[in-house]
Structure 1
Amino acid sequence: MTQKRSNPQRPHAWCVYIIRASDDRLYTGITTDLEKRWRAHDGGRGGAKFFRGRRPAHLCFVETGHDRSSASRREATIKRMTRRQKLQLIAASATPVPLNGD
């Protein structure tokens, strides 16, 4: 059995993000390519089912420095938070680089 090896030049390529949707709801996800993921959510092809009937409006939160496992754990932790806790997390974070012209 062959094991997949992580790329030693990109050991922490995963990030956790929160997007505010057009209806003001919050979506949390993980990715290795934020711009590509944003386009997928915005275009409806390959994006999350969450964005059917709503559009991504603003990238509110980005946390980098994760591997796949830690990003998945952090995503699960954030998804268990209340909306108020998520808004507090967003407020406490540094402003991310916008992908949508904000």
Structure 2
Amino acid sequence: MTTSKNMSEQESPKWHLYILRCKDETLYTGITNDLQRRFEEHQSNSPRCAKYLRGRQPLTMIYHTEFSSKSLALKAEIKVKKLTASQKKLLASGQLVINEIADTH
């Protein structure tokens, strides 16, 4: 006999904020609920690849962090996208903490 969990018992999907470095050294920031799938889409130049990333492979994921909701991930993404490339590199190296730029965790 199998039992199914009710909605309150089901684990809600996690959302990820990520930063990719392109072969031309530019940075791309995005969010997803499936980090591995999204990276593979970007890397493969598939139709689901972000237009900005087309032709900029290979990509390197230099940063990612997890959020409990899409809303929180979107708020963090907006703030990260406003950072300079140097600040994003500091974030990726651990010298800048996401909580210092976003009240989202």
1:52 Cα deviation after fit: 1.4
Give the number of the structure whose residues are more often strand, by fraction: 1
- In structure 1, runs of 5+ residues without a counterpart are 1-5, 94-102
Q: Give 1:81's aligned amino acid.
A: L
Q: Give 1:82's aligned amino acid.
A: T
Q: Give 2:82's aligned amino acid.
A: R
Distance 1:33 1:84, change over 3 A: same
Matched ranges for 1:79-90 at <5 A: 79-90=81-92
Distance 1:85 1:8, change over 3 A: farther
- In structure 2, runs of 5+ residues without a counterpart are 1-6, 96-105
Q: Which residue of 2 aligns with 1:61?
A: 63
1:84 Cα deviation after fit: 1.0
Identical residues among aligned pairs (%):
34
C-alpha separation in 1, matches of 2:8 and 2:94: 31
Instruction: Note the aligned Cα RMSD (angstroms).
Output: 1.9
Largest Rg, 1 or 2: 2
TM-score of the two chains, using structure 1 as the length reference: 0.77
Show structure 1 runs of 4+ deviating over 2 A. Answer: 6-12
